[in-house]
Amino acid sequence: MDKKKFEKIFRKILYPLIVISILLLIFTIRRFLVAFIVMVLFIFANMLLGMVKRVIMVPVGLEVETLGTIVCSMLYGVGAGVFFAIFSITLGAITQKTLSVWTLVKVLVYIGVAITTTLFSPANIIVVGISLTIVATAIIFIFCQLFFSPNLLRNIGYAVTTIILNFFIFKYAAQPIVNLLT
């Protein structure tokens, strides 16, 4: 095959096939790329909030682990939710210098949240988020009281602020985030 014939075939057949293949690849991985970017942003926000909580030394339940785990699970499946929960909680604990057995307990609770979220998908993210926030907070409260830090007043303060703040986060931010990502 001579050079001119090859160029003609390339321009008419191979070039469009290559362009279409690249576009299909981009379209296919777009969802995974968006999921990855969302997870990274949630993890970064959670680490930042953890550093702020460490500085102010107040038991405030401000976090985005719950929102991130539920959004990732609902939109991208249980694997993404579990991945997010493990990395978000672990990196948050490393950033706050609080990596301990408690981190493992929290990771296990949030793996449960990721799995449970997919059972309710495609339900209303606000209802699922608030419900699972209450359940996860109750489990963490019980574990904390029984095994880790039996400071009842501090644990109640943390549990109440976690539920209240997550209520507002899910009520006002969850659906717009889902709409943006779908």
Structural domains of the chain, ranges and CATH numbers in brackets: 3-181 (1.10.1760)
Whole-number percent of the chain with pLDDT over 90: 22
Q: How confident is the model at residue 62 (pLDDT cuts 50, 70, 90)?
A: low
| Positive/negative CA dihedral, 182, 127, 168, 88 | negative
- Tell whether the model's pLDDT for residue 16 goes beyond 80: no
Q: What is the mean pLDDT of residues 145-172?
A: 87
Tokens of 33: 């790329």
pLDDT digits 0-9 by tens, 102-120: 888 888 999 999 999 988 8
Q: What is the mean pLDDT of residues 77-106?
A: 84
Q: 46 Cβ partners below 8 Å, 6+ apart?
A: 63, 64, 65, 68, 88, 91, 92
Cα separation, 72 vs 64, whole angstroms = 12
Q: What is the mean pLDDT of residues 117-130?
A: 87
Other Cβ atoms closer than 10 A to 6: 11
Q: What is the mean pLDDT of residues 32-47?
A: 79
